[in-house]
């Protein structure tokens, strides 16, 4: 599989749709997908013809986050890839507005990526969970900085400390997503919203986004710094990550199917 195939890129007028394409692994971030998605995000942000981005995944999932099986195999060299191609944090750094179209399960690093979008629209099939500590690692992509801003501090701590799975309806109630739509209509709805954004003159929309980002920086920047410092200081033993991940994945699957 070539790098370009890891991410499907399609333009709909001034809207660019980026679709993570590793469905057999629930779009978990292996090295190929990390590099391809990072490049696709950078390309979209640098293209003056692109006024909005829709980020989604090939069914059945949005993104399972870090590929812990590959992390086990590659060791710390896997995590080093994020130093130069951090597709998780790149979403939040976009000057171009980004809508997350959450088509299915989104866990851990995938949820951090989704939180970097300007807002989220979810399929009725979407489910959300932060399983970082359950697997044995700490969040380092903005979870503790951005999740509390959407759902409140207590709910954010509950989700991160328990690893519980949140369905789409509850995600809307707590403010994690702005809207839940029928699965088959998700992409159309996200495209319609993105088209409304793209109708606004580019400089005006860019300035509006900058205002929102600047306004939240007083909270976000210190929280991001603390998260990265503490997570970076913890030594991650990659040898047993895959086993832990398999256990958590099976537990989450059972919860989803109830």
Please indicate whether residue 136 or residue 39 has the higher confidence score (pLDDT): 39
Helix H or strand E encompassing 250: helix 241-257
Model confidence at 247: pLDDT above 80: no
pLDDT at 113: 98
Q: What percent of the chain is modeled with pLDDT above 90?
A: 79
φ and ψ at 32, to 5 degrees?
A: -60, -45
Rounded to whole angstroms, how far apart are CA atoms 205 and 95? 9
Per-residue confidence at 246, pLDDT binned at 50, 70, 90? low
pLDDT at 162: 97
| 101, 36, 87, 69 alpha-carbon torsion, rounded to 10° | 100
The two beta strands, 127-129 and 179-181, are: unpaired
Rounded to whole angstroms, how far apart are CA atoms 150 and 29? 24
Q: Is the peptide bond before 258 cis (omega within 30 degrees of 0)?
A: no
Rounded to whole angstroms, how far apart are CA atoms 213 and 224? 14
Per-residue confidence at 1, pLDDT binned at 50, 70, 90? very low
pLDDT at 241: 55
Per-residue confidence at 238, pLDDT binned at 50, 70, 90? low
Look up the CATH architecture of domain 1-184+202-257: Alpha-Beta Complex (3.90)
pLDDT at 71: 81
pLDDT at 248: 57
Give the start-to-end residue ranges of the domains of the chain: 1-184+202-257
DSSP 3-state of 121: strand
pLDDT at 3: 45
């Amino acid at each position: 599989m070539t790098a370009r195939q890891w991410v499907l890129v399609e333009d709909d007028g001034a809207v660019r749709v980026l679709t993570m394409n590793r469905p057999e692994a629930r779009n978990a971030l292996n090295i190929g997908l990390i590099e391809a998605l990072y490049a696709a995000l950078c390309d979209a942000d640098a293209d003056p013809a692109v006024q909005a981005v829709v980020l989604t995944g090939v069914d059945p999932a949005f993104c399972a986050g870090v590929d812990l099986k590959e992390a086990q195999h590659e060791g710390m060299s896997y995590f080093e890839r994020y130093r130069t191609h951090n597709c998780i944090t790149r979403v939040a750094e976009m000057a171009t507005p980004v809508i997350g179209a959450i088509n299915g399960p989104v866990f851990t690093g995938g949820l951090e990526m989704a939180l970097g979008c300007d807002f989220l629209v979810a399929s009725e099939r979407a489910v959300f969970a932060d399983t970082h500590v359950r697997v044995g690692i700490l969040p380092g992509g903005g979870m503790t900085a951005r999740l509390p801003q959407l759902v409140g501090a207590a709910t954010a701590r509950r989700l991160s400390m328990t690893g519980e799975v949140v369905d789409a309806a509850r995600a809307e109630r707590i403010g994690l997503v702005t809207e839940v739509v029928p699965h088959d209509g998700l992409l159309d709805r996200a495209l319609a919203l993105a088209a409304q954004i793209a109708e606004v003159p580019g400089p005006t929309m860019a300035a509006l986004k900058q205002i929102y980002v600047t306004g939240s920086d007083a909270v976000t920047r210190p929280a991001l710094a603390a998260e990265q410092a503490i997570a970076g200081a913890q030594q991650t033993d990659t040898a047993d990550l895959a086993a832990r991940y398999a256990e958590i994945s099976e537990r989450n699957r059972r919860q989803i199917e109830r």
